[in-house]
């Protein structure tokens, strides 16, 4: 196994950090603030927790809870903002004459990531009876010992904590075994006794393992209680798996659904989806022959060879945040004529008005798979399949198995992503937000149902078992410097 890099990535406190600790105040008493206290308490001296408004609680684990007007009573080295209300808190701190060089922002995405791996390290330490640090040898020994035991030795969430830790440690074969144990532990539960959140995870596990008949039975006979939106979503997933999905106004995140304009544009058309990877297949002419060509940003930049990537662009998928950044930079990617940009409908409450015969259309919103949110190709597919196209073909995707040919912009992240430490480490991003196996399994189901066609490279990848796919990931991430 490669040397474990998790401790360096996440900066877990070590014993010799205890000397000369910084004295800090944590600003924010929501979940992010509480997680910050748990993560930082060994590395710094937390003098107080500041909250904008007075609350009934006066302390948290012995740490006083104060309001901003009480900050003057404390002599601190820095204030850590642990809240989504960063701008408002900065304004408050300025009002109370706190200098900028004493303010540190701990972005909520980074808190989420650090807390998850903080819990994973704590769990592994407990299981290995090791109170100092997790080394590569301890990790391997502990996990191998666990994998020899029944799946109910740990809860499914505990198995997933260790799974994420192993992914970031580039230990893919062991990680996949942990994932399988997690699903086994979950499916041993009685679905009728689960709350809505746990029940959704249970049903997503059935979909992930291709237990479609069992999933269909639970939904059809109302044997389990689901919210109306969740039942619509699982019905949609089943339709995908059986190759008969059609336009459905499901509203999984209760914010947006596929627009009628988008449906009219796609219906009965041959659609190509272009990914960010150059796989040396000269298929540019085939791509451009499609009625509709859909791309997302990385496949538009980097001076791509049109013989491999094609030149036609009808629709671009992009996050509202990224689009706003591109507008401020006057990016040439926004000057493509007659292009439709598909994204969330607003950014910071303001509509993003484009010119040059360009249009905005809302995409369907977040999709959920087992231990995962859908990445961009899956979000695109969940829109397109509903719109009843004649045929969908995916080009230039290799699912992270050969990093070298990826265009540079694919690994270019927004400054906010870098500040949150979620953009510069692709493995951390994948482990916490987009599970490799879930994406792979979903695409396999779509291909098997006839809902998705693929170029040669992606077709070969979707023929692989999960074990073989993770073996390919192990090679890619450990030998190719990804």
Beta strands in 250-323 (DSSP E): 270-274, 292-296, 315-317
* pLDDT, position 415: 39
Least confident of 97-106, 258-267, 345-354, 395-404: 345-354
- CATH code 3.40.50.720 region(s) in the chain: 6-106
**pLDDT of 406 higher than 70:** no
Q: Token digits for 249?
A: 């106004």
* pLDDT, position 314: 86
- CATH code 3.90.1480 region(s) in the chain: 260-479
Rounded to 5 degrees, what are φ and ψ at 170? 60, 35
Q: Which CATH number fits domain 260-479: 3.90.1480, 3.40.50, 3.30.70, 2.60.40?
A: 3.90.1480
Mean pLDDT of 67-86: 90
**pLDDT of 240 higher than 60:** yes
* pLDDT, position 363: 52
**pLDDT of 14 higher than 50:** no
Q: What is the C-alpha to C-alpha distance for residues 398 and 414, in angstroms, rounded to an integer? A: 23
**pLDDT of 222 higher than 80:** no
Q: What is the mean pLDDT of the chain?
A: 77
**pLDDT of 89 higher than 80:** yes
**pLDDT of 419 higher than 70:** no
* pLDDT, position 398: 86
- DSSP structural state of residue 339: P
pTM, rounded to two decimals = 0.76
Contact 317, 296 (CB under 8 A): yes
Express each pLDDT in 31-73 by its tens digit: 888 888 988 888 899 999 999 887 888 899 899 999 999 999 9
Query: Would you place residue 165 in the very low, low, confident or very high pLDDT band (cuts 50, 70, 90)?
Result: confident
CA nearest neighbour of 410 among 381, 442, 376, 385: 376
* pLDDT, position 106: 82
* pLDDT, position 344: 52
* DSSP sequence for 179-194: HHHHHHHHHTS-GGGS
Runs of H (alpha helix) within 55-155: 86-95, 108-127, 136-147
* pLDDT, position 109: 65
Q: Token digits for 296?
A: 């997302």
Neighbour-count burial of 202, counting CB atoms closer than 10 A to its CB (0-12 exposed, 13-18 middle, 19+ buried): buried
Q: Estimate the crossing angle of helix 228-241 against helix 436-449, to 10 degrees.
A: 60
Least confident of 141-145, 165-169, 347-351, 426-430: 347-351
Coil, strand or helix: which one is 296? strand
Name which CATH class applies to 6-106.
alpha beta
* pLDDT, position 12: 36
Radius of gyration of the chain (CA): 24
Q: Token digits for 280?
A: 């040396």
Mean pLDDT of 279-305: 79
**Cβ-proximal residues to 228 (8 Å cutoff; 6+ apart), any chain:** none
Mean pLDDT of 362-373: 70
Express each pLDDT in 316-356 by its tens digit: 877 655 665 566 555 666 666 677 767 654 444 344 555 54
Mean pLDDT of 394-417: 59
**Which residues in 114-123 are b (16+ Cβ under 10 Å) and which e?**
bbbbbbbbeb
Rounded to 5 degrees, what are φ and ψ at 360? -110, 135
Least confident of 77-86, 97-106, 246-255: 246-255
**pLDDT of 250 higher than 50:** no
Query: Would you place residue 167 in the very low, low, confident or very high pLDDT band (cuts 50, 70, 90)?
Result: confident
**pLDDT of 132 higher than 80:** no
More confident residue, 73 or 107: 73
* pLDDT, position 183: 96
CA nearest neighbour of 465 among 434, 437, 446: 437
CA nearest neighbour of 168 among 412, 417, 375, 433: 433
For residue 97, is it left (φ>0), alpha (ψ between -120 and 50) or beta? Answer: left
Q: What is the C-alpha to C-alpha distance for residues 236 and 255, in angstroms, rounded to an integer? A: 17
Q: What is the C-alpha to C-alpha distance for residues 389 and 451, in angstroms, rounded to an integer? A: 9
């Amino acid at each position: 196994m490669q040397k474990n890099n998790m401790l360096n990535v996440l900066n877990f406190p070590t014993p010799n950090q205890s000397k000369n600790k910084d004295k800090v105040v944590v600003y924010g008493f929501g979940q992010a603030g509480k997680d910050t206290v748990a993560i930082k308490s060994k590395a710094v001296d937390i003098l107080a927790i500041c909250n904008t408004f007075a609350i009934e609680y006066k302390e948290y684990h012995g740490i006083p809870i104060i309001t901003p007007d009480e900050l003057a009573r404390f002599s601190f080295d820095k204030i850590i903002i642990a809240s989504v209300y960063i701008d408002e808190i900065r304004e408050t701190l300025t009002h109370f004459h706190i200098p900028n060089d004493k303010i540190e922002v701990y972005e909520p995405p980074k808190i989420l990531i650090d807390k998850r791996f903080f819990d994973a390290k704590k769990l592994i330490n407990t299981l290995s009876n090791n109170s100092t640090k997790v080394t590569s040898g301890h990790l391997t020994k502990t996990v191998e010992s666990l994998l020899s035991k029944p799946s109910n030795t740990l809860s499914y969430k505990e198995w997933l904590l260790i799974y994420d830790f192993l992914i970031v440690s580039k230990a893919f074969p062991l990680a996949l075994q942990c994932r399988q144990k997690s699903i086994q532990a979950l499916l041993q539960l009685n679905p009728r006794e689960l709350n809505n959140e746990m029940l959704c995870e249970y049903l997503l596990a059935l979909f992930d393992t291709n237990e479609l008949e069992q999933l269909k039975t639970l939904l059809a006979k109302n044997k389990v209680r689901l919210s109306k939106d969740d039942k619509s979503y699982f019905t949609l997933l089943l339709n995908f798996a059986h190759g008969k999905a059609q336009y459905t106004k499901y509203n999984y995140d209760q914010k947006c659904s596929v627009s009628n304009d988008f449906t009219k544009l796609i219906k009965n058309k041959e659609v190509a989806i272009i990914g960010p990877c150059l796989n040396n297949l000269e298929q540019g002419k085939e791509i451009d022959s499609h009625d509709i060509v859909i791309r997302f940003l990385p496949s538009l930049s980097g001076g791509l060879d049109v013989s491999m990537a094609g030149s036609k662009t009808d629709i671009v998928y992009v996050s509202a945040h990224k689009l706003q950044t591109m507008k401020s930079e006057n990016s040439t990617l926004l000057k493509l004529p007659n292009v439709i940009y598909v994204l969330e409908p607003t950014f910071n409450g303001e509509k993003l008005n484009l010119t040059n015969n360009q249009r905005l259309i809302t995409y369907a919103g977040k999709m959920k798979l087992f231990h995962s949110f859908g990445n961009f190709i899956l979000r695109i597919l969940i829109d397109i399949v509903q719109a009843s196209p004649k045929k969908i073909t995916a080009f230039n995707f290799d699912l992270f198995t050969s990093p070298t040919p990826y265009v540079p912009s694919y690994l270019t992240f927004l400054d906010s992503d870098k500040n949150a430490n979620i953009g510069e480490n692709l493995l951390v991003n994948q482990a916490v937000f987009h599970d490799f196996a879930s994406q792979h399994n979903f695409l396999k189901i779509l291909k098997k149902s006839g809902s998705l066609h693929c170029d040669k490279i992606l077709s070969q990848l979707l023929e692989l078992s999960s074990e073989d796919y993770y073996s390919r990931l192990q090679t890619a991430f450990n030998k190719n410097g990804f």
